[in-house]
Amino acid sequence: MRPALALTALVSMIVATTATAHAMDPVRLEVKDHHFTPDHFTVPAGQRFVIELTNHDDTVDEFESYDLKFEKIVVAGGTISVHAGPLHPGTYKFFDDYHPDSATGTVTVTEAP
């Protein structure tokens, strides 16, 4: 279908031309037995950052956070990265939407020095 092609071309163009830059190294998390390790980390306020999540379970998970505004599928054995921030100081929750009872974690955002 023509509109689909045009749209894909447009989106790919935007993807190709926009640069990304982050002040911090990615925060690395793992999920195993439906628990995050670590299940808590700290980032400075007012900065964008990347979370890299590796799934060591044999099920597909959906890494999600309403507070941090991301939602991404991570297949068994896969690694994904999501972007978040800039955030105000406070505590923010994230979870695996497919195992929300066990796989949860928090981010503490502290005032930047």
Give the nearest distance from C-beta 98 to another protein in angstroms: 5
Q: Is 43:49 a contact under the CB 8 Å cutoff?
A: yes
Q: Is 58:76 a contact under the CB 8 Å cutoff?
A: yes
Give the nearest distance from C-beta 1 to another protein in angstroms: 8
**Interface positions with another protein (CB under 8 A):** 1, 3-4, 7-8, 10-12, 14-15, 18, 20-21, 48, 58-62, 66-67, 69-70, 72-75, 78, 80-83, 85-86, 88, 97-98, 100-101
Of the pair 8, 42, the CB lying nearest another protein is at 8
Of the pair 56, 88, the CB lying nearest another protein is at 88
Nearest to 49 by CA among 68, 22, 72: 22
Give the nearest distance from C-beta 9 to another protein in angstroms: 10
Give the nearest distance from C-beta 6 to another protein in angstroms: 9
> What is the radius of gyration, based on Cα positions, of the chain?
16
Using CB atoms within 10 A of its CB, is residue 103 exposed (0-12), middle (13-18) or buried (19+)?
buried
